[in-house]
Amino acid sequence: EDQVTQSPEALRLQEGESSSLNCSYTVSGLRGLFWYRQDPGKGPEFLFTLYSAGEEKEKERLKATLTKKESFLHITAPKPEDSATYLCAVQSSSSNTGKLIFGQGTTLQVKP
Amino acid sequence: NAGVTQTPKFQVLKTGQSMTLQCAQDMNHEYMSWYRQDPGMGLRLIHYSVGAGITDQGEVPNGYNVSRSTTEDFPLRLLSAAPSQTSVYFCASSMAGGPGNTIYFGEGSWLTVV
């Protein structure tokens, strides 16, 4: 069964304190791994798509990496405005529905 | 630049009532879908459509109907609301359902069934 697990569930950082969020997945053929950011009361906002092991993508203070079993979202020198819930999702090649299988998210709080 | 627009934002229903959540996108996307988000469950796919006139069930379709008469619109109907359908609903769209197509989400519709 395709599955996505994110850890930790919650993370508190001081401004400037770098850290990483983990997304472990089991899927019968990875079509793509997606990272989204979700602010309270809002819909998920697309950040990155990764397709193959070894791939990396960056956007401002965020960097996403991918291995055959997990993905990391590295946050360098975070600011309070980076506080949000970060969602990881995968698309499986066993499904032709375009369905995204989501993890439960990591809620990040960055204190000034 | 509207993207994916959902209405209403908030709704309270009584058990047994029916209603329709509206979703429209202005990006000419072929693929549209509905997810629900529940605490501890993540986002789960309810129904999806790969183009006008074509719909299919996702992971949790029971109690919901959809139709796709135009490329732009993909309404979600609750036939007889139940408390278990209290949730946040997100409509999403992409160019197609295959790999390499980013899925964009609406702002959500908060539904409470009492």
The answer to whether B107 contacts A43, with C-beta atoms less than 8 Å apart, is: yes
Q: Are A45 and A59 in contact (CB under 8 A)?
A: no
Nearest CA-CA distance, residue A34 and chain B, Å: 8
pLDDT score recorded for residue A5? 96
A54 in contact with chain B, both atoms CB, cutoff 8 A: no
Q: Averaged in consecutive runs of 10 residues, what is the pLDDT profile of chain B (114 residues)?
A: 89 97 95 93 92 93 96 96 97 79 92 97
> Would you call B107 and A104 a contact, using CB atoms and an 8 Å cutoff?
no
**How many angstroms separate the CA of residue A5 from the nearest CA in chain B?**
10
Give the count of Cβ contacts less than 8 A between chain A and B: 68
What does the angle CA B91 – CA B95 – CA B101 come to, to the nearest 5 degrees?
95
Partner-chain contact A44 B41, CB within 8 Å: no
> Which two tokens mark B82?
């139940």
By three-state DSSP, how is residue B23 classified?
strand
Of B111, B78, B102, the closest CA to residue B25 belongs to B102
Determine which of A30-44, A67-81, B94-108 has the lowest per-residue pLDDT on average.
B94-108
The string of pLDDT tens digits covering residues A75-111 is: 999 999 999 999 999 998 776 667 889 999 999 999 9
Nearest chain A residue (CA) to B99: A31
Instruction: Answer whether A46 sits within 8 Å of B102, measured CB to CB.
Output: yes
Q: Which residue in the block uniquely carries the two structure tokens 């139709």?
A: B67
- For residue A104, what is the nearest residue in chain B, using CA coordinates? B42
- In B, which residues are within 8 Å of A34 by CB distance? 102-103
Which residue, among B35, B47, B103, B109, would best test binding to A if mutated, counting the most A CBs under 10 Å from its CB?
Answer: B103
Counting residues of chain A whose pLDDT is more than 90, the rounded percentage is 85
Residues of B in contact with A100 (CB under 8 A): 35, 43, 45, 103
Three-state DSSP at B90 gives strand
Whether the pLDDT of residue A24 is over 90: the answer is yes
Choice among A21-35, A36-50, A52-66, A95-109 with the minimum mean pLDDT: A95-109
Is there a contact between B7 and B76 (Cβ–Cβ < 8 Å)? no
Looking at residue A14, what is its pLDDT?
A: 97
